[in-house]
Amino acid sequence: MKILIIAHGKGMGGAQISTLEFIKILRDDIEIIMLTDKQANTKFLHELKDMGIRTYTEKFPKISSSLKTELTKQQPDVIWVSDQAYLMGYKVKKLLNKPLVYHLRDYSLVCPRYISYFGKGDTCYYHCSIDKILKCRKNFLYEYTNIKKSNVNPLFSLGWTYKGISDYLTWKVVSSKTVKIADGFIAVSHAARKLYLLHDKRFQQKKIGVVYNPTTLPRKIVQYSVSNHTPSSSIIYVLPHRREVILGKSFFQASNEIIKGAYILLNALRILKEEHNLTLPIKIVNPSTNLVIYAKKLGVSSMVHTYKFLPHEKLLKLISESAICTMPSLWPEPFGRVALEANLLGVPVIASNIGGLPEIVINRHTGVLSNPGDPSDLADKIAYAINKHWNRHKIHSITEKRFNNRIIKRQFIAYLEELM
């Protein structure tokens, strides 16, 4: 089998990391060729080169005549779009007329904001419309101003809300083309698959498989972590490292922090301090200035230790030295790579009982599930987890068996073979 993988690769987020992980487990059994954007992340391109993957670059979504010739000559058996390079996948499918599969790593084909979160704690299960996107954006502004305890500039508010109309119209065209031309989709969790099917009946007519993301951690760090029987009594909370700017960097960071439950977590720390007389140090990776200010307002800033962007191995080391990892997300995380990595390190995870997180974290065995958006419940779960004796070897062993890369590889190949 020969696969053409299409990925814009402009960042090194979860989609790009998982793409590289898939290539690592597939390359011995499948011939792989890669098509990526000319502006792809340097590290992403270096890793492809180190693995010996033949890679073509192009200014997405254009296809030059020379690239057309090369791709036609290669004649792959299947086209796999592994990140949000939807239009490039559409064009290559038109050129080669080969089976095309898109990876569903977020909700961007059913939600213009990609998060399927309606605001005010509600997951969105409905087909999008202009009316819905405007309400969604207004709800988010309400959450944002409620946290900051100050009003947003009216012109900014109006512009950001009604930008939703242009975003919606662009999204509708891209989504329609993508769904219509695709032969199949791969969801990263059963929860993500279910949400797609609830959102849009067009997906009910397509083959949607479920294949978890493969994850390989450095053996040295895993061994260090599972043998660390006396970790510090600290919590670790990791926010995504994003460079994009949406009408202001601080506003964009606040958007991420809201849906990732950062403000819920800080309120839980306040409850632990005031009602449980428990002051736990928390390591927050990639926080915004707004979040640090908010911690000060709540009187928990002395508990908060912040870290800027960390290389992956250093981040894993930081997780391994923590007592618990937390993911108190409000949006239905399609997967939850941080939770899986923590569990593979033997570190228990407190995660919201929503989206794909309950498929990773087994309640009371590899961590604890909490009610999303409920700081009191989160505080109770943190108090429970910090006082419980966790067997790191057992957490690692359970997780490694459930997310076995050999099984993931077989499932992925079997799905592609069904499309061919």
User: pLDDT tens digits, residue range 358-376?
Assistant: 999 999 999 999 999 999 9
Exposed/middle/buried for residue 204 (C-beta within 10 Å: 0-12, 13-18, 19+)? exposed
Of 3, 63, 77, 5, whose CA–CA distance to 34 is shortest? 5
pLDDT level of residue 249 (50, 70, 90 thresholds): very low
Structure tokens at 97: 């007329």
The pLDDT assigned to 243 comes to: 44
Where does residue 129 rank: exposed (0-12), middle (13-18), buried (19+ CB within 10 A)? Answer: exposed
Q: Are 161 and 141 in contact (CB under 8 A)?
A: yes
Residue 247 has pLDDT above 50, yes or no: no
Alpha helical stretches, state H, 227-336: 249-259, 262-275, 289-298, 312-320
pLDDT band at 144 (very low <50, low <70, confident <90, very high): confident
Residue (of 329, 352, 360, 290) closest to 115 by Cα position: 329
Residue 230 is classified by DSSP as: S
**Among 6-20, 147-161, 292-306, 344-358, the least confident range:** 147-161
Taking the C-alpha atoms of residue 347 and residue 333, their distance in angstroms, rounded to an integer, is: 19
For the chain, the residue count is 420
Predicted confidence at residue 248, as pLDDT, reads 43
One-letter amino acid identity for 77? D
Beta bridge partners of residue 32, listed in sequence order:
3
Residue 246 has pLDDT above 50, yes or no: no
| pLDDT confidence tier of residue 16, bands split at 50, 70 and 90 | very high
Residue 352 bridge partners (DSSP):
370
Q: What is the pLDDT of residue 119?
A: 78
**Given strand 31-37, what is the order of strands in its sheet?**
54-58, 31-37, 2-7, 78-81, 100-104, 184-187, 207-210
Q: What percent of the chain has pLDDT over 90?
A: 78
Give the residue extent of every domain in the chain: 2-110+170-214+404-419, 117-167, 219-402
Which pLDDT score is estimated for 148? 66
Fold of 219-402: Rossmann fold (3.40.50)
Q: Do domains 2-110+170-214+404-419 and 219-402 have the same CATH topology?
A: yes
Give me the pLDDT at residue 104, please: 97
Tell me which fold the domain 2-110+170-214+404-419 belongs to: Rossmann fold (3.40.50)
